[in-house]
Amino acid sequence: TQLLEQSPQFLSIQEGENLTVYCNSSSVFSSLQWYRQEPGEGPVLLVTVVTGGEVKKLKRLTFQFGDARKDSSLHITAAQPGDTGLYLCAPSGDYKLSFGAGTTVTVRA
Amino acid sequence: DTAVSQTPKYLVTQMGNDKSIKCEQNLGHDTMYWYKQDSKKFLKIMFSYNNKELIINETVPNRFSPKSPDKAHLNLHINSLELGDSAVYFCASSQDGTAVYGYTFGSGTRLTVV
Contact assignment for A98 to B45 by CB distance below 8 Å: yes
At A2, is the pLDDT very low, low, confident or very high (cuts 50, 70, 90)?
Answer: low
CB contact under 8 A, A42 and B4: yes
A61-65 vs B53-57, strand pairing mode? unpaired
Residue A83 identity (one-letter amino acid) = D
Residue A102 backbone phi and psi in degrees, to 5: 90, 160
Confidence of residue A3 (pLDDT cuts 50, 70, 90): confident
Residue B92 has a pLDDT of 97
End-to-end CA distance of chain B: 34
Q: Sketch out chain A's domains with CATH numbers.
A: 4-108 (2.60.40.10)
Q: In angstroms, rounded to a whole number, what is the distance separating the alpha carbons of residues A77 and A99?
A: 24
Q: Is A42 on the interface with B (CB under 8 A)?
A: yes
Contact A42 B106 (CB under 8 A): yes
Asked if B90's CB is within 8 angstroms of A99's CB, the reply is: no
Per the CB < 8 Å rule, is B100 touching A48?
Answer: yes
Instruction: Give the pLDDT confidence of B69-104 residue by residue, as tens digits.
Output: 999 999 999 999 999 999 999 999 999 988 888 999
The amino acid that residue B91 corresponds to is C
> Which CATH number characterizes residue B61's domain?
2.60.40.10
Q: Does A33 touch chain B (CB under 8 A)?
A: yes
**B20: confidence class by pLDDT, cuts 50, 70, 90:** very high
Residues of B in contact with A101 (CB under 8 A): 40-42
**Total Cβ atoms within 10 A of residue B38:** 12
Q: Mutate which of B41, B56, B93, B95 to test chain A, going by most A C-beta atoms within 10 A?
A: B41
Report pLDDT for B63. 96
Most B-contacting residue of A97, A98, A103, A106 (CB-CB within 10 A), to test interface: A97
pLDDT at B52 over 80: yes
Average pLDDT for chain A: 94
* SS3 readout for chain B: CCCEEEECCEEEECCCCCEEEEEEECCCCCEEEEEEECCCCCEEEEEEEECCEEEEECCCCCCEEEECCCCCECEEEECCCCHHHCEEEEEEEECCCCCCCCCEECCCEEEEEC
In tens, the pLDDT along A20-61 reads 999 999 899 999 999 999 999 999 999 999 999 999 999 999
Of chain B, the percentage scoring pLDDT greater than 70 comes to: 100
Strand (E) or helix (H) holding A58: strand A55-58
* Residue B72 domain boundaries: 4-113
Total domains in the fold of chain B: 1
Instruction: State how far the Cα of B29 lies from the Cα of B106, in Å rounded to an integer.
Output: 14
Yes or no, beta carbons of B42 and A31 under 8 Å apart: no
Contact B105 A44 (CB under 8 A): yes
B20 near A CB under 8 A: no
Residues 28 to 57 of B: which have CB under 8 A from any A CB?
31, 33, 40-45, 48, 50, 55-56
User: What is the mean pLDDT of the segment spanning B20-39?
Assistant: 97
